[in-house]
Amino acid sequence: MVEAAKKVALITGDSRGIGAATARLLAQEGYALCLNYRSDEASATALQQELKVLGSEVIIIKADVANEPEVIALFEQIDVQLGAVTALVNNAGILKPQMPLVEMTADRVSEVLMTNVMSCFLCSREAVKRMSLQRGGFGGAIVNVSSAAAYTGAPNEYVDYAASKGAMDSMTKGLAIEVARDGIRVNGVRPGCIYTDMHTDGGEPARVDRLAPLLPMGRGGQPQEVAEAIAWLLSDKASFATGTFIDLAGGR
């Protein structure tokens, strides 16, 4: 990858959990950051202030990253305020209450797929336009935050969520090959049972505690552990890694 004068990262859905942990780590590594949020402005603002105290250049932008016009506007604002994106973390995602597929409505499945998959496609497209060496960019890296559910299937709980993450995995592999000779690397992380608020969205706040004893490592993971993998994949230390995945699921 051609070295850019400035490292600019966009993290989608980063007001909590893995996204917030990644923002903290990338700030420490000298990235200028755009923190994206859809509805939780208070958390995004608090994180921005926290990182600014550390001397980081941080902006926050509200955007629904499953909406094409809003994604285009998001990247255009970053261009003006920070410069072109050189690192993208597709972290935005939603989880609906646990239930078997036979009880799922079309509206539910559509919302999960649009939020989790479409956002990844749209943001990656805009990032590639800016990173591409052929288009005058400096190269860059994309990390897609998938899930261990992509290979477990999450039966009786989140088959729709699992399917959305499986789609992200396929996209990760295909895009990585498309842009491999254009200075852009595309990889994924697949977290398993991680202590985040997302489990509350699924209706079981203590889900990690329930499942942790069943994992080979016997414990749940922390957002910081996932953030470390994301930061490594974005860095030049992972310069020969593309189209690959790091599973962060305690051996599952």
pLDDT tens per residue, range 68-85: 999 999 999 999 999 999
Q: Cα(107)–Cα(222) distance, rounded to whole angstroms?
A: 32
Q: Indicate the pTM of the whole model.
A: 0.94
pLDDT tens digits, one per residue of 180-225: 999 999 999 999 999 987 777 777 888 999 999 999 999 999 999 9
pLDDT recorded at residue 5? 62
Domains and CATH numbers, the chain: 8-248 (3.40.50.720)
Q: Which sequence positions are flagged as catalytic?
A: 161
Structure tokens at 162: 């699992």
Q: Cα(98)–Cα(146) distance, rounded to whole angstroms?
A: 18
Find residue 194's DSSP bridge partners.
Answer: 221
